[in-house]
Homo-oligomer: A and B are copies of this chain.
Amino acid sequence: MTAANQTPTFSDGRTVPDHRLSRILNAQSVAVVGASSDPAKISGRPLAYMLARGYGGQLFPVNPSRSEIQGLPSYPSLRDIGHAVDLAIIGTAAEHVENIVREGIEAGVGAFVVFSSGFAEMGVAGRDMQRRLGELARDSGVAIVGPNCLGVANSQTGLIASFTTALESTGLRSGRFSFVSQSGALGAYWLDIVLRSGTGFSQWITTGNECDVDAAEAIDFLVDDPSTEVIGLYIEDIRRPAAFRAALQRAAVAGKPVIAIKSGRSSAGAAAAASHTGALAGDDALYDACLHQYGALRVDSLTEMMDAARIFLHRATPSGPKLAVMTVSGGAGVLIADACEPLGLALPALAPATVDALAPVLPSFVHPANPLDITGNVLQDTGMIGKALRVLATDPGIDGIVLFIGMMHSIADFFVQALSEARRHIDRPIVVVWIGAMESSIHALEAAGVPVFLDIPQAVRALAQSLHVQRVRPSACAAQLSAPGLGAVSLAASPISEFDGKQLLRSCGAIGLPRGHLLAVDAIDTVPELLRYPVVAKLQSAKLLHKSDAGAVILPIHDEIALGAALRQLRAIGERLNIPLQGVLVEEMVPFDHELLLGLRRDDRFGAVLTLARGGIEAELAADVTSRLLPLSADEIEAMLRSLRVGRLLEGFRGRPAADIPALASRLARLCAWFESQPLKELEINPLAVCAGQAWALDALVSPLAAS
């Protein structure tokens, strides 16, 4: 048995989790292929970094032209090392990589990190080489990170399989924050920030072109990594959406917040992303939905990521949106209240008992309120800080405390001491905003587990974001993840006619259909009986998708004479259009209170997606739309409905008739489940007419999946 096959253990004896990536991140022996004696060169840096930072495992430089590199014996090849190593780092020219990996696999190497560029990002030949590398990984079972990546690092073991310059001048610093990045550059910036800020990190994984190991697998590894508490993520495109969703869900269940930057939000950004990675940028709204519904936080910058992460790392997430704010300046209290309101955070009145208990603690001229201005008097009476915090923490209506300090360097130590004690003895989370804080105060507070922000908006935003993660987690944990047919490109056949689509929909049973008749084109002089007026008449053809635009929908029709005229008019339109006609659908008009748009489609990346929106022109004036990935429970659909602005109309706004939202959500949940079982590419119901708990498909556009 080689070293690589032993169950790896941490230095404290804990067993390393059984995960394919453990072989990489917890490697106990590392070979560096093409290692250089020059510690400044890309191929010299990993060795130099690990030697300088005390990596505890074995290191094997591989370079046939030297016998010794950076003080270590050098080997001509991976095979010549004489036993299997856990990890081989490869940074040679692209064309040599495949052979080196083959040789390594034969020599029992457990995994590879490939820095080399010149693969899929460089055209057809590179794509072929990359594909073969991926096949090698799958056939042999070894894990390959890269190619075209900046490598990985583990602060716990000192493993630095990377040439990032972010480690040039800073030592490793252990922390509980880990990062997965599809961009080496963003990965390096993140590393630089966590090392210089003192936050530190646990694992750092850049996945590059992802021939084998991808972001989803890296997240999955971090969920099991005992040293990781918060997971950062930079993604441009995900290749295995089902695995990605499963990893996010596992993180949510494990209570490890995921904070993600997904680039390509804008149309310009999406275009740039496409040319950058060669990967097609995904539909941004679906990424948004995916991250949101699994409780991951989407942020726009590394700064925002760090702000949110510090709330999580210090377990400073309030238990709800109600904050007590304590300040040394009245103006700051107002600014904090201003920042809280639009983000859904509240500053409730203090309980009478709190007010009574605060009075003796505060100067006589201060009326205890929220925000609570303890005034500059704190300079004379520093004991006030801890006393007031302890009283605020007893208020049953308070979910968390924000303390604002401005400069006050002369009593900085008192603040640090009072807050450190409060952190130990108070069960409410505390966040500090300290404008003009000294670095020593910040470090002391962060070391004591109190997050410090240098201005108000950053703190308030991070608090609001942390609450989102808190809120979403239970539903993410509840959802069963089934992902039928994900990842496969599902081509649509041509759409079918409204009439045929509605026949399909009838088999679902969840959504009502107006009573109607299909009249053959050559028999439309026969006015249908049994229908109640008013009715609508619509020309039917699989080739006629935008009926209204073609004038092929006539309504309202109030009597038989008008109907006869309408039918003749539609026949004339059909003849003029010169398309195969199925007939004319005559339907009773359904009275309704609300008009929605419903879309169900199989996205090539994310699988089935439900989109709900306001119907009609209003939705176009101001987007009022929400999308979520299936499967979805009735509760989740109810939340979607209520999240729309039109949700207020559904709730019965200003005396308008209300819809029965739970009943409606339950119908839509049945529709979603039915859709997943059907060979359909897309189903659009627009409008979906709603009245109380009833819903009717007034029109339906259905595209079956192409027969495979």
A93 to chain B, nearest CB (A): 15
Considering only residues 145-195 of chain A, those with a C-beta below 8 Å from chain B are 165-166, 168-169, 182-183, 185-186, 188-189, 192-193
Residues on B with C-beta less than 8 A from A335 are 261, 263, 269, 300-301
Q: Which has the most chain B C-beta neighbours within 10 Å: A165, A183, A330?
A: A330
Give every chain B residue within 8 A of A457 (Cβ-Cβ). Answer: 300-301, 303-304
**Contact present for A330 and B276 (CB under 8 Å):** yes
CB distance from A436 to the nearest CB of B (A): 4
Asked if A508 lies at the interface with its beta carbon under 8 angstroms from chain B, I say no
A270 to chain B, nearest CB (A): 8
Q: Does A526 contact B (CB under 8 A)?
A: no
Does A648 belong to the interface (CB within 8 Å)? Answer: yes
- If the complex has contacts A189-B406, A654-B617, are A183 and B330 also in contact, measured as CB distance less than 8 A? yes
Contact A263 B329 (CB under 8 A): no
Check if A1 is an interface residue, CB within 8 A of chain B. Answer: no
A27 CB-CB contact with B under 8 Å: no
Is A524 engaged at the interface, CB distance under 8 Å to the other chain? no
A649 within 8 A of B: yes
- B residues within 8 A CB of A269? 334-335, 337-338, 341
A290 CB, nearest partner CB in chain B, Å: 17
Interface segment, one of A366-374, A389-397, A600-608? A366-374
A515 within 8 A of B: no
Query: Is B268 a contact partner of A620 (Cβ separation < 8 A)?
Result: no
CB-based nearest B residue for A455: B303
A165 nearest in chain B by CB position? B407
Which residues does chain B contribute within 8 Å of A656, judged by CB atoms?
A: 617
Contact B339 A300 (CB under 8 A): yes
Within the assembled complex, what's the spacing in Å between the Cα atoms of A620 and B268?
Answer: 33
Minimum CB distance partner of A268 in chain B? B337
Q: Is the CB of A186 within 8 A of B301?
A: no
Q: Judging by beta carbons under 8 Å apart, are B646 and A338 in contact?
A: no
How distant is the Cα of A696 from the Cα of B549 in the complex, in angstroms?
32
> Per-residue CB proximity of A406-431 to B under 8 Å, as 1/0?
11111000000000000000000000
Which residues of chain A (265-298) have a CB below 8 Å from chain B?
A: 265-269, 271-273, 275-277
- Assess whether A272 is in contact with B617, with CB atoms less than 8 Å apart: no
Interface flag for A347 (CB, 8 Å):
yes
Question: Is there a chain B Cβ closer than 8 Å to A622's Cβ?
Answer: yes
Indicate if the CB atoms of A406 and B276 lie closer than 8 Å. Answer: no
- Binary interface encoding of chain A residues 316-357 relative to chain B, with 1 for a CB under 8 A from any of its CBs, else 0: 000000000000111111110111111000110000000000
Question: Which B residue sits closest to A436, measured CB to CB?
Answer: B192
Report B-chain residues with C-beta under 8 Å of the C-beta of A304. 457
Alpha-carbon distance A704/B333, docked complex (angstroms): 39
Q: Is A621 interfacial (CB-CB < 8 Å)?
A: yes
Question: Which residues of B sit under 8 angstroms from A407, Cβ to Cβ?
Answer: 165-166, 188-189, 192
A204 at the interface (CB under 8 A from B): no
* Chain B residues, Cβ within 8 Å of A649: 617, 621
**Complex: how many Å from CA A291 to CA B546?**
47
A264 CB within 8 Å of chain B: yes
Cβ-based interface call for A302 (8 A): yes
Chain A stretch 634-682: residues in CB contact (< 8 A) with chain B: 645-646, 648-649, 653-654, 656
Residues A275 and B367 in contact, CB atoms below 8 Å apart: yes
Q: Which residues of B contact A189 (CB under 8 A)?
A: 406-407, 435-436
Flag whether A454 is at the interface (Cβ < 8 A): yes
Partner of A183, one of B122, B329, B654: B329
Task: Write the nearest CB–CB distance from A168 to chain B, whole angstroms.
Answer: 8
- Per-residue interface assignment for chain A, residues 588 to 620, with 1 indicating a CB less than 8 Å from any chain B CB and 0 otherwise: 000000000000000000000000000001101
- Within the complex, the shortest CB–CB distance from A619 to chain B, in Å, comes to 11
The residues of B that contact A653 with a CB separation of less than 8 Å are 617, 620-621
Is there an interface contact between A406 and B185, defined as CB atoms closer than 8 Å?
Answer: yes
User: In this assembly, does A463 line the interface, its C-beta being within 8 Å of a C-beta of chain B?
Assistant: no
Given A186-B332, A332-B186, A334-B236, A341-B617 contact (CB < 8 Å): no
Cβ–Cβ contact B186 & A347, under 8 A:
no
A interface list, Cβ under 8 A from B: 122, 165-166, 168-169, 182-183, 185-186, 188-189, 192-193, 196, 234, 236, 261, 263-269, 271-273, 275-277, 300-304, 328-335, 337-342, 346-347, 365, 367, 369, 371, 373, 376, 406-410, 435-436, 454-458, 617-618, 620-622, 624, 645-646, 648-649, 653-654, 656
Besides the contacts A196-B436, A272-B337, A622-B622, what 17 more A-B pairs have beta carbons closer than 8 Å?
Answer: A182-B331, A185-B328, A185-B331, A186-B331, A188-B406, A236-B334, A261-B335, A263-B334, A263-B338, A268-B338, A268-B346, A269-B338, A300-B457, A301-B339, A301-B457, A617-B654, A620-B654
